[in-house]
Chain A
């Protein structure tokens, strides 16, 4: 076969392939003119946020712990912090001891740099994004490192300088909350008092910020006031 014949055959094959190169879909829905426009900002790497306030014990409290997961997954765990002050507080670099997946204090989770809790606001650290969880609020930090023992743990919140800001629960069983068949988070009573004392905690009895489908037997108030 000479070269001209090869070119000719190749040409025919190419023409026959044309519709297949374009005919990717049988049925297409086309969403047109999606647009993203970036704003004006100063990159964190150029101008990092610096907090000049040195927080004290009680400024931030561990306000709610969902240690039992949900009907969706036993890993659907989350923890909520609450800012008791009238100023925003930068908690980048703060640590939560025993929130990670082992019984030792080394199972620490560190809050990423640049994270701030607004004045009187809440801060949610969750194992899974909203779409993969029974919560329907957006977590401030998502980390699969959250893995609480069902048998209970003492959670300690430390500032970036190592000061213990708050303690929740004690070693041993969880003060409050439950898992299957009825999932309830462990809520701090309001106003928050000593987190290491069982009398200052209660079972969640409402479901604010949770998927509606979970309202029958899943209770919690992520990123919302407790008991509402």
Chain B
């Protein structure tokens, strides 16, 4: 038993720092930009559209994905917001904000050098009741590329026995 525990500790010491460094290589942020959405008096039926340009500067095709992380929430507003995501005027996704928080979604792919405009349309449904008054939600929006990475191969090569 002591041998097993000792092996687990040794393996942990060997693998975990490498795992963390691999994480930092893969999931870095190219930039942090100001809020896309800032709305202080959202009423039922309101739509807000904002756009961003996504450019693939890599040499291989990239899948474009989006996810959100919740920073602060007061009340139930996050439960009622709805998103429609467009890419170059095509409706790619129509989902609830809760769904976007739950998992990343793919919205298309870009060839090397290709640029496309992604539009986010956030709606507070007209049917929203009074329980959604004076509530708020603050979130970060992550738009990223998830194509092949040489770093991932590099990580596995380090652990080839």
List chain A positions with a Cβ less than 8 A from chain B. 4, 8, 11-12, 15-16, 18-19, 22-46, 72, 114, 129-132, 138
Contact = CB atoms under 8 A, between A and B. Distances in A.
**A38, A41, A46, A72 interface centre (most CB from chain B within 10 Å):** A38
A119 to B, nearest CB: 20
By CB atoms of chain B within 10 A, which of A15, A30, A36, A39 has the most? A36
Nearest to A132: B89
Interface of B: 1, 4, 7-8, 11-12, 15-16, 19-20, 22-23, 26-44, 47, 49, 52, 54, 58, 62, 65, 67, 71, 75, 77, 81, 86, 89-91, 104, 119, 121-122, 124, 126-130, 132-147, 149, 151-152, 155, 159
Given A23-B23, A31-B36, A33-B138, A38 B7 contact: no
Given A12-B11, A33-B71, A44-B126, A39 B41 contact: yes
B119 A43 contact: no
Given A12-B11, A24-B67, 9 more contacts: A4-B1, A18-B23, A24-B146, A29-B30, A30-B140, A31-B32, A36-B42, A44-B126, A44-B127
25 contacts: A15-B19, A16-B15, A18-B19, A27-B58, A27-B144, A28-B143, A29-B33, A29-B143, A29-B144, A30-B29, A31-B142, A32-B34, A34-B35, A34-B38, A35-B136, A36-B137, A37-B41, A37-B135, A38-B128, A40-B133, A41-B43, A44-B127, A72-B89, A131-B89, A131-B119
**Chain B contact residues: helix, strand, loop or mixed:** mixed
B126 A35 contact: no
A26 B8 contact: no
A15 B12 contact: yes
